[in-house]
Structure formats: structure tokens, C-alpha cells
Structure 1
Amino acid sequence: MRLRLPEERPTEPPTGYKIAHAVLSQDGTRAAFTGVSLGGALPYGVLADASCVYGLRHRPPHRRCDCGFHCVHDRTAAEALLCTAEHRTAVLLEVAVLGAYIRFEHGFRSARQRVRTATVGPCACGARAAALADAGWGRPGWRALAPSCTGCLRGRTSVPLASYARLAGDGLRVVAGAGAAGAEGLGVPELAAEAALLQARLDWFQTQLVRLGDREGGGGARGGGAGGQG
């Protein structure tokens, strides 16, 4: 006797949560996501259909396979995955579970999904992210991105959060998660630390300006000497 799974016919698509890495196409015209485990080599868009990562011809999600889009019921459970070292730069996705799906104790495995919201964590320095910047790795044709504040971009390929949402399309919302508190929420010790950091940055900029001035001045003197010899 073949056992059949109970069927559900919800009036609205179920909501699930997962983590993924944000990626940007090599030419900078498309934004997508890539999984953190199974199927991580296959970037997917905001609205996407699953395919079997093993190359089998059945329709995902198959009962005897791991194919399909995976997500969990509880947002907190997905956020917990961001604590591991290899997932620190991933983003938290809220998805609509579409098409056929299999419900498990902790989540779903579905044929389709729509990413509704992507929540970007703080920059590595702890400040609230303002952009997604080149993370230093990727997939063929795709650059992986990591959260970054404006102060830590330092010339890396990057895209502001709003621009990433526009490139991804299909109504995606991209929001910055918790980062360093604003000045209005800080006490005297925290403000003193912020002031010290700002002063250190100003000192660094001043040093660079002095070095540039010395180089330009030195170059001018050497140029004059060469002209005299001619």
C-alpha cells in the first residue's frame, strides 16, 4: 500500500525564512541569490522555479530527493544560521512558498518561491550596512557580495541596497538590519569612543594629504632640474 501525504490548499502562500548569499552578475546588470549549501552553485532570482541539483528529470520537490527550495517556518531559526563563521555575510530572506511543496516539522521544500524581503546584516566593522560590496569570492559569472558601510567600501565593486533591489526586480525589498546604534542612543562612553574613531580617521586623512603634498612638491623640483639640464 502506497502512503500518500496529506494535501493542503492554503488560501495564501505560506511564508518561510532562509539565508542566502547576495550575488551580482559580472557585468553588474543583474542581482540574484545563491544558496549556502545544497544548490549553492545555481544562482536564483526573486521569482524562481526549482530544478533538481542532481540532474534528475523529476519535478521538484520529489519525495525521494532533496531537490526544491528549502526554508524554515521560524525567522529566529533562520537568523541563528547567520551566527556561523561561513554564513556571517549571508542575508536573511523572507519568501513566499509557491507551487507544490512538502511540509516538514521545521519548514518547507517547494517547487517555486518568491523572495519578498532581503534583510542585510551589519558591516564587518559593526556599523549598519549601506551597500553590498565584493566579498572576495564568487561563482562563474557572479560576484558574491557582503554587507558594508560606506567607510569600509574602499574602492571595492559595490551596489547600494536600493540599487540591488532595483536590479533584482519583481518587487524585492532590501532593508538594512541592526548595526551600530545612532548617536541619539549612545551614552557618554560610547560617544567618546565614536569621537576617538572620527579623530583617528581625520588624522589618517591629514597624513595622506601631507604625503600627497610632499610628492607633488618633490616632483615639481625634480622637473625644474631636468629642464635646466636641457
Structure 2
Amino acid sequence: MRLRLPEERPTEPPTGYKIAHPVLSQDGTRAGFTGVSLGGALPYGVLADASCVYGLRHQAPHRRCDCGFHCVHDRTTAEALLCTAEHRTAVLLEVLVLGRYIRFERGFRYARQRVRTATVGPCACGTVTAALADAGWGRPGWHALAPSCAGCLRGRTSVSLAGFARLAGDRLRVVAGDGLRVAGDELLPAAGPGAPGGLGVPELVAEAALLQARLDWFQSQLARLGERGPGGAPQG
């Protein structure tokens, strides 16, 4: 006799939590995420469909395979994964579980997802994150990004939190370490006081700090070039 799993027909999509690394396309026009374990070589967007990472032709998730997106029920369980050394620069995602899914004791394995919120931790120096910067590794065609404050950018390829949300699209919300939320260039209700229809004061301060850090870096480079003289030889 063939055993069948009990069917669920929820009135609303279940919510789950997972961690992932933010990524930026090589040409800087797209943003997304890549997983930390199975399927980590395949970056995905805010709204994405799963496929079998082993190349099998069945639909994900298959009962006799471990393919499909994975998430846990409890936010605290997902946050605990960020304590490990290899996951310190990952972000916490809140996702909607869409399509077919298999429920387990601690989470779901499912066919489709929508990333609703990405929570970005602090910079490695402990300062509140102002941008996502090149982490020094990536996937073919994609730069992996890590949280960075304005002072630690040092000329690396980077994108502001608002810029990442805008490139990712689908009204992704990005939550900085201090609880600020931005989506594209729109102010979300919980982001605090600000001008209607635009970015609030905290977001503008973060953007200004990012621009100032880049300006300081460019000025330092120009100063070094000036010391070497027009022909490239040191002056003096």
C-alpha cells in the first residue's frame, strides 16, 4: 500500500525563515540571493521557483529527493545559524512559502517562494551597516556581498540598502541592523519620520555617509596621483 502524506490547504501562504548571502550581478543591474548549503551555486531572485539541483526531471520538492527551497518555522532558529563563522555575513530572510510544500518538524521544503524581508546585520567592525559591499568571493556572473559601514567600504564595489532593494524588485524590504526599513526609494510605514513619498531622515543620513566615504576614497586616490606627478614619477 502506498502511503500518502496528509494534504494542507492553507488560506494564506505559510511564512518561513532562512539565511542567504546577498549577491549583485556582474553588470550591476540585478540583485538577489544565494543559499548557504544545497543549491548555493544557483542565485535566485525575490520571487523564484525551485528546481532539482541534481538535474532530475521531477518537480521540486519531490518526496524521495531533498530538492526544493528550504526554510524553518521559527525566526530564532534561523538567526542561530548566523552565529557560525561561515555564515556571519549572511542575511536573514523572511519568506512566503508558495506552491507545493512538504512540512517537517522544523520547517518546509517547497516549490516556490517570495522573499518579503531581508535583515542585514552589522558591519564586521560592529558599526551599523550602511551598504552591502563586495565580500571577496562570488558565483559565475555574481558578486557576493557583505554588510559594511561607510568607513569600511575602502573603494570596494558596493550598493546601498535602498539600491539593493530597488535592483531586487518585487517590493523587497531591507532591514538594517538598527531596524530601518527601505524598499527601493520608497519610505515604508515602520521606517520612522520622514518626508512623505520619499526616504526618511535616517535613510538619507545613511546614504550621505556612503557618498562621503566614496568621496573621501576618491580624494585620497587623487592625492596619491598628484604626488606622483603627471608622468607617474614621484615629485620632490
With the shorter chain as reference, the TM-score category is 0.7 to 0.9
Q: TM-score, normalised by structure 1?
A: 0.79
1:70 maps to amino acid: H
In the alignment, structure 2 segments of 5+ residues that lack a partner are 180-215
1:132 maps to amino acid: L
2:86 maps to amino acid: E
With over 3 angstroms needed to count, the CA separation of the structure-2 counterparts of 1:157 and 1:7, relative to structure 1, is: same
1:46 matched residue in structure 2: 46
Q: Percent identity?
A: 86
Q: TM-score, normalised by structure 2?
A: 0.77
1:126 matched residue in structure 2: 126
In the alignment, structure 1 segments of 5+ residues that lack a partner are 180-204, 224-230
Offset from partner CA, 1:126-149 (integer Å, 9 cap, x none) = 011010000000000000000000
Partners of 1:102 and 1:219 lie apart in 2 by 66
Q: Trace 1:124-203 onto structure 2 (pairs within 5 A).
A: 124-178=124-178
Runs of 4+ in 1 over 4 A off after TM superposition: none
1:30 matched residue in structure 2: 30
More helix by share: 1
Offset from partner CA, 1:81-121 (integer Å, 9 cap, x none) = 00000000000000000000000000000000000000000
Question: How far apart are 1:175 and its partner, in Å?
Answer: 1.1
Equivalent residue pairs, number: 190
Q: CA RMSD in A?
A: 2.1
Partners of 2:161 and 2:31 lie apart in 1 by 11
Question: How far apart are 1:178 and its partner, in Å?
Answer: 4.4
- What secondary structure, in the 3-state scheme, does the structure 1 residue paired with 2:60 have? coil
Question: How far apart are 1:219 and its partner, in Å?
Answer: 6.2
Bigger relative contact order, structure 1 or 2 (CA pairs below 8 A, ≥6 apart): 1
- What secondary structure, in the 3-state scheme, does the structure 1 residue paired with 2:13 have? coil
- What secondary structure, in the 3-state scheme, does the structure 2 residue paired with 1:8 have? coil
Based on CA coordinates, which of the two structures has the bigger radius of gyration?
1
> Are residue 16 (structure 1) and residue 51 (structure 2) matched?
no
Q: Trace 1:83-122 onto structure 2 (pairs within 5 A).
A: 83-122=83-122
